[in-house]
Structure 1
């Protein structure tokens, strides 16, 4: 099929629907002929004839009939919007493939490419024109954790707990006593903004300070009345210098860490030196925070309780919609920071942005983006002040509406009646055994079979195992929602036709009876319950650490004892080996004959090197070794030149024999 070209003039559908209807009525009333009516009202004669003959409905559009009917296209449109709302949006290629599959399913002739198995771009353009509410958009990334946590149960629980806390503190109408604090990271290598360039140019570049830049963390805090506290800037490193902190906004607090991220000690420093000092004397004060580990410490909580400050922790992975600074301030901060970096590089073409230039650049950002209007808008958009839970729309939580199928790991599978592929099968309850049986979908043909519902009770149906081989069969999860009732009307048949094409994702979740330790709700950190919980955790952590140290010391002591035993055994083996390998005249014989004088001196009684007499040696002197050469003389061990080398002494040969 030839692709649609831009600004192409169409030859069809130039007539007006009202003119066609008037011409149709005139011919039906026999006041004009077909040719006269077509000429008078400016409509095609053949088009008018087809409507008069009944081949085409009079209300049909001024174009060729579409491959899919209006009801089928409406179903496809609803499926596209549903998939986008739950975070699984369809691409242009996906939609064209679905269009081809639906056309094949209907069995009607179509002009789509059967080799590539997808509809053409022309069909997609027409489909989008017939449904102008659809458009191609580039989606934002949504993490799996945010998709799960942004659900009505978590959000409603957050607003209930926050409302109760604000009522108890009586600060719902006191915006100057409601604060939010959060951190954001700014890189020394900025993100370039869009620029005006030559149309069609393939490479458009913008200068930055490097490929990867050092991160600088900025902790900001604002009240619902629009008052901003001085920022807290954290650099990567171990010490600060005057050149690093120059040109910063007034009263700015500085800190350093190994990673440039905030930690518990830095947050405690900011809380004591900046927050308590800057908020004034009005009490009580509510400080809204996210659940970062640096915000939750016993020291900070005790300090807050002493100063009548209440710390409220938002639910995890929901701060993009519940935290004021995230919602309306930090996006403006990053955009203004990028513009300020671009302006700095333009003014200084030969320089790059370093950590020593950061404070001067950030000063302009602080005055422009940390504004009263942004702070007030943030608290209003998140429903904190004025307190309004309806500010978080249902469309923000649609990604958490994926159908979840709970499977008990200790019980047989219980499945409600569901349509499998193209055939709706209702199976009555049957006795099952205690083992978990998994059923595979039965092969069905392409024809649609509708079975009327059987009288069953309100309890879910238990599908019993089929007589199969010894190997277990696997049942695929259903891709369509459970039917409340089955109708034999054409609408029900139409809906069932595309169930195996327009599959809606579902999640199989195994319930094993264990309670999750993950935190999934908001908390008031300064409450007695949370403080006691943290103290118990700290004590448990200290006990575990002490136990680890004790076990480590025991392991070291055992290891040293084993090494000592091994060394002793090794020394004993070496000593025994030396004793076994020693050759020479026995000291025992010398000891037994120490009181006897030899009757005659033999040449073997003298050392072959120093002529020392054997019987003159006292007990404990050197051992004697015999030469293995031709002379067979005896030598002191010290005279052999191999003292202590017992292995070599066993093969000792004197210098005379070697010569």
Structure 2
């Protein structure tokens, strides 16, 4: 049973779908329930069974698997291509380290507190703390230089107007904008280049070129942005798609500490009996968080880990280092087939004949040989049964997912109501009403087609009749 389970787990890992440790107990119990009634367990295994199981199996190990988009797995070729493009640019003697910048936008949730360790009374039985959650996200466009500096940000509110109390905290040099969803667009991108980036970097650069590295979203490739960059000696370099988590300094070492320190600031003001964190609190909290997080050390660490400063000249080694956390992608042709029974039917038949021969000659030597061969046959049958059970459960699981997907895909994405809030019962009535209207429309369509067809038939019949001659 354990051999079959190990093969199943290794097979699922090769397919890129490793099984969680907490699910191993249920599979172990399913296999054990196939035993004879005398050896069948009555209770499922304990909570420590998965740990003891993989410790007994040298082929397995426990590992933490972070969720990662499939497109971000195999990026080694993109990394090599990126350094072939950016390498000559950074090696240009006219390009100074202080004139190389990386910009990106990040979403910051106003108030989403996590679990923290606190001191409480010994009589406290709650196990939780009071908090007000505000899931509104504010977009901040940040830009950092290769020598460890950060520019003043642009804050984008999810609104249609500016409000006085949103910017009551003094933030000299910051820019504020708004959009319907709170995200950047082509117009805001152009305004950021003109009003934020260019004024804060032009005097320092002098007549030297400026390099601006951005992600591959394509927002900064509009014609107006390209014309402005060309006129002001700004060179745009876009990262390859799905590589920003490894090649963009902002994503590597800037945004994570920024959001962590922002949450710390929210925790701090919560201790001051502040209720819901709103937009009016954001500038004060984010300003303090930027001072703590956007340090020269953090910014330089991001550029170094991205392989840009200092520049890694060996692109192959750099790609392997950056891509070291990746796993090999199994192509469709390399996917291991479903595990088959290790003993084929011919071998089982041959083993049966040997057992029958030993049974006819039951001396002491043949008894031992018979016991060994019987044990082999039992092991083979148990292994085959266990593998079949695991595959049957996996097929049942996949069939359930497929059936759910069929229903979801067959449902049209039609509007069934315009109310801001609707109950489930109202949705069902609306769906039934739409279905009834569609049926009536289809019936009228069929009736019209039938009527037209009958009219055409009658017309052809009348035209086909011979006219009788007039009698004098």
- Describe the SS at the equivalent of 1:276: helix
Whether 2:324 is the aligned partner of 1:403: answer no
Could you tell me whether the CA contact under 8 Å between 1:85 and 1:395 is conserved in 2? no
- Describe the SS at the equivalent of 2:111: coil
Cα distance change on mapping 1:171 and 1:319 into 2, 3 Å: farther
Larger RCO of the pair (alpha carbons < 8 Å, separation 6+) = 2
Cα distance in 1 for partners of 2:229, 2:65 equals: 41
Q: CA offsets, 1:194-235, max 9 Å, x none?
A: 23367998853344343x432211111001110111111111
**Residue 175 (structure 1) aligned to one of 97, 108, 111:** 97
Cα distance change on mapping 1:367 and 1:421 into 2, 3 Å: closer
The match for 1:316 is: 241
Q: CA offsets, 1:489-519, max 9 Å, x none?
A: xxxxx9xx8997899x9xxxxxxxxxxxxxx
What number of residue pairs does the alignment pair up? Answer: 351
Matches within 5 A, 1:485-524: none
Q: CA offsets, 1:240-287, max 9 Å, x none?
A: 244322324331111111111111111111111111111222522221
Which range moved further: 223-232 or 289-298?
289-298
Cα distance change on mapping 1:420 and 1:284 into 2, 3 Å: same
The match for 1:89 is: 18
Could you tell me whether the CA contact under 8 Å between 1:284 and 1:308 is conserved in 2? yes
Whether 2:164 is the aligned partner of 1:239: answer no
**Residue 82 (structure 2) aligned to one of 158, 183, 191:** 158
The match for 2:108 is: 186
Could you tell me whether the CA contact under 8 Å between 1:183 and 1:219 is conserved in 2? yes
The match for 2:269 is: 344
Whether 2:190 is the aligned partner of 1:281: answer no
Cα distance change on mapping 1:187 and 1:322 into 2, 3 Å: same
Q: CA offsets, 1:456-510, max 9 Å, x none?
A: xxxxxxxxxxxxxxxxxxxxxxxxxxxxxxxxxxxxxx9xx8997899x9xxxxx
Could you tell me whether the CA contact under 8 Å between 1:224 and 1:385 is conserved in 2? yes
Structure 2 unaligned spans of 5+: 350-379, 395-472
Displacement of 1:121 after TM fit?
A: 5.4
Cα distance change on mapping 1:166 and 1:84 into 2, 3 Å: farther
Q: CA offsets, 1:150-207, max 9 Å, x none?
A: 432233322333224434x4478x4212211011111222333423367998853344
Cα distance in 1 for partners of 2:347, 2:338 equals: 13
Cα distance change on mapping 1:114 and 1:296 into 2, 3 Å: farther
Could you tell me whether the CA contact under 8 Å between 2:186 and 2:222 is conserved in 1? yes
Whose helix proportion is higher, 1 or 2? 2
Matches within 5 A, 1:455-470: none
- Describe the SS at the equivalent of 2:67: coil
Matches within 5 A, 1:464-613: none
The match for 1:411 is: none
Could you tell me whether the CA contact under 8 Å between 2:33 and 2:41 is conserved in 1? no
Cα distance in 1 for partners of 2:40, 2:155 equals: 60
Which range moved further: 95-104 or 236-245?
95-104
Whether 2:46 is the aligned partner of 1:124: answer no
Whether 2:296 is the aligned partner of 1:378: answer no
The match for 2:224 is: 299
Cα distance in 2 for partners of 1:125, 1:249 equals: 53
The match for 2:277 is: 353
Whether 2:132 is the aligned partner of 1:204: answer no
Displacement of 1:446 after TM fit?
A: 9.7
Cα distance in 2 for partners of 1:141, 1:112 equals: 40
Cα distance change on mapping 1:206 and 1:285 into 2, 3 Å: farther
Structure 1 unaligned spans of 5+: 1-66, 407-415, 425-443, 450-493, 506-659
- Describe the SS at the equivalent of 2:237: strand
Displacement of 1:99 after TM fit?
A: 6.4
The match for 1:332 is: 257
Displacement of 1:297 after TM fit?
A: 0.9
